[in-house]
């Protein structure tokens, strides 16, 4: 694996930072035509789009051009680019990537409670269709729910949705607040289940109940590389990676086939023990969506309904 240098503009990468995998393999699994990578990020480049002062990590750079090269290499048609916490509420790198995508990317931004209607209109024009609320303590300081409610009131008229990122152990506390959000709600990475627990046990059952009770809730069945404990890793040609995550993702895909999304999570912030080959991550998909019908819903129909409802 190549590293992308120790510095990124004027910034020094966090200690132990793992750079994205250079030269991913071409997937064996052929993505259906029009597939969307519905969760990925851009980082900087730091020299052009500085990282936020309040960030909890400093990544390696991962530019829009590098993301679009990956899209083409893997066989995706489009991207949904999600604002990474290292950029705080400065969405310039995201907007630049959307503008250079030629309409082939939509975005999810991070905004503050004082965001103006004009700023939201500009983000909409660039291709933003949602905001992200993050509750993972190692990534952000907690924002009070009343300010999040103010943001929801501002974005709802635009037809936007809310993306939420939280740890499974925090769902009981956040359940009622999440259930009160009236827009579509997209949960990152299946609410981060502890996959050493039983997929039929109470923790994951609470997440499934949350999806059953709230039909506006969608989820990304992404990030097996982050959730897996036993692997095997998506490296060295492994075609059946992260088997311990499969029962969880499969369960969700089969029960809620019209409310699931999938994304690479490139460039995979904060992984600690390995960096996956993104081609082999794509080869993971048929393990969790076993039929061509489920694959088409997951990769084409669902993300297009949410991000390109106008049908282009
Ligand atoms: O688990 C993570 O570290 C992580 C971080 C970010 C971010 O910093 O935005 O986004 C993700 O989807 C996952």
The predicted structure's pLDDT at residue 143: 87
Question: CA Rg, the chain, in Å?
Answer: 18
- Write out residues with Cβ below 6 Å of ligand 1: 84-86, 139, 188, 226, 265, 269-270
- The verdict on residue 2 lying in a domain is no
Residue 44: both structure tokens together:
């900087």
ipTM of the complex: 0.98
Question: Which of the following is catalytic: 19, 184, 188, 265?
Answer: 265
- pLDDT for 239 equals 96
Distance, CA of 247 to CA of 20 (rounded, Å): 27
Ligand 1, residue 139: give the atom nearest the CA. 8
Ligand 1 atom 6, closest CA: 84
Q: How much is the pLDDT for 142?
A: 86
13 in a structural domain: yes
Residue 25 in 3-state DSSP?
coil
Count: domains in the chain: 1
- For residues 191 and 131, give the distance between their C-alpha atoms in angstroms, rounded to a whole number: 17
Measured in whole angstroms, the distance separating CA 77 from the mean position of its chain's CA atoms is 17
Q: Which of 239, 196, 186 is nearest to 217 (CA)?
A: 186
How far, in Å, from the CA of 81 to the mean position of ligand 1?
A: 12
Q: Residue 301: give the domain boundaries.
A: 7-307
Can you tell me the distance from the alpha carbon of 263 to that of 156, in angstroms, rounded to the nearest whole number? 24
pLDDT tens, position by position, 50-97? 999 999 999 999 999 999 999 999 999 999 999 999 999 999 999 999
Task: Answer for the pair 186, 220: CB distance below 8 angstroms, yes or no.
Answer: yes
Quick check: is 244 catalytic? no
Residue of minimum CA distance from atom 8 in ligand 1: 85
Strands 7-8 and 11-12: antiparallel
Minimum-distance ligand 1 atom for the alpha carbon of 84: 9
> What residue ranges of the chain have pLDDT lower than 70?
1-9, 312
Q: What span, in angstroms and rounded, lies between the C-alpha atoms of 212 and 103?
A: 33
Dist. CA 213 → ligand 1 center (Å): 27
User: Distance between CA atoms of 248 and 252, rounded to whole angstroms?
Assistant: 7
Give every strand in the sheet of 128-134, ordered side by side. 36-40, 78-82, 105-109, 128-134, 161-165, 185-187, 217-220, 260-261
Rounded Cα–Cα distance for residues 272 and 15 (Å): 10
Under a CB-based contact definition with an 8 Å cutoff, are residues 289 and 298 in contact? yes
How many A from CA of 86 to the centre of ligand 1? Answer: 9
In a domain, 1, yes or no: no
Q: CA-based angle 96:101:102, to the nearest 5?
A: 120
By the 8 A CB rule, do 158 and 124 touch? yes
Nearest residue (CA) to ligand 1, atom 9: 84
3-state SS track over 45-102: CCCCCCCCCCCCCCCCCECHHHHHHHHHHHCCCEEEEECCHHHCCCCHHHHHHHHCCC
> In this structure, is residue 312 part of a structural domain?
no
- In which element (H, E) is residue 148 found? helix 145-155
98, 106 in Cβ contact below 8 A? Answer: yes
Q: Which atom of ligand 1 is nearest to the CA of 192?
A: 1
* pLDDT the model gives residue 2: 47
DSSP, collapsed to helix, strand or coil, labels residue 254 as: helix
Asked if residue 138 belongs to a domain, the reply is: yes
Distance (Å) from CA 82 to ligand 1 centroid: 9
CATH classification of the domain holding 171: 3.20.20.140
């Amino acid at each position: 694996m190549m590293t992308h240098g120790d510095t990124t503009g004027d910034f020094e990468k966090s200690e132990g930072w793992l750079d994205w995998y250079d030269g991913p393999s071409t997937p064996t699994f052929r993505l259906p035509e029009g597939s969307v990578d519905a969760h990925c990020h851009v980082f900087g480049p730091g020299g052009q789009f500085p990282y936020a002062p309040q960030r909890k990590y400093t990544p390696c750079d991962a530019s829009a051009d590098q993301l679009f090269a990956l899209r083409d290499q893997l066989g995706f048609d489009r991207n949904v680019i999600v604002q990474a916490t290292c950029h705080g509420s400065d969405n310039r790198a995201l907007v630049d990537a959307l503008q250079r995508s030629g309409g082939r990317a939509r975005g999810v931004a991070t905004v503050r409670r004082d965001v103006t209607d004009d700023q939201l209109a500009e983000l909409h024009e660039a291709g933003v269709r949602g905001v992200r609320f993050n509750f993972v303590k190692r990534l952000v300081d907690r924002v009070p729910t009343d300010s999040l409610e103010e943001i929801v009131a501002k974005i709802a008229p635009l037809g936007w949705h809310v993306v939420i990122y939280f740890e499974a152990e925090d769902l009981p506390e956040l359940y009622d607040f999440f259930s009160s959000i009236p827009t579509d709600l997209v949960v990152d990475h299946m609410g981060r289940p502890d996959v050493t627990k039983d997929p039929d046990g109470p923790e994951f059952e609470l997440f499934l109940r949350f999806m059953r009770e709230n039909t506006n809730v969608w989820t990304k069945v992404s990030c097996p590389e982050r959730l897996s404990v036993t692997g095997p890793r998506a490296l060295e040609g492994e075609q059946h990676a992260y088997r311990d995550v499969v029962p969880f993702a499969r369960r969700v895909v089969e029960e809620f086939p019209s409310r699931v999304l999938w994304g690479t999570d490139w460039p995979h912030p904060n992984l600690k023990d390995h960096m996956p080959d993104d081609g082999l991550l794509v080869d993971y998909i048929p393990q969790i969506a076993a039929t061509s019908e489920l694959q088409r819903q997951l990769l084409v129909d669902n993300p297009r309904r949410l991000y390109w409802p106008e049908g282009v």
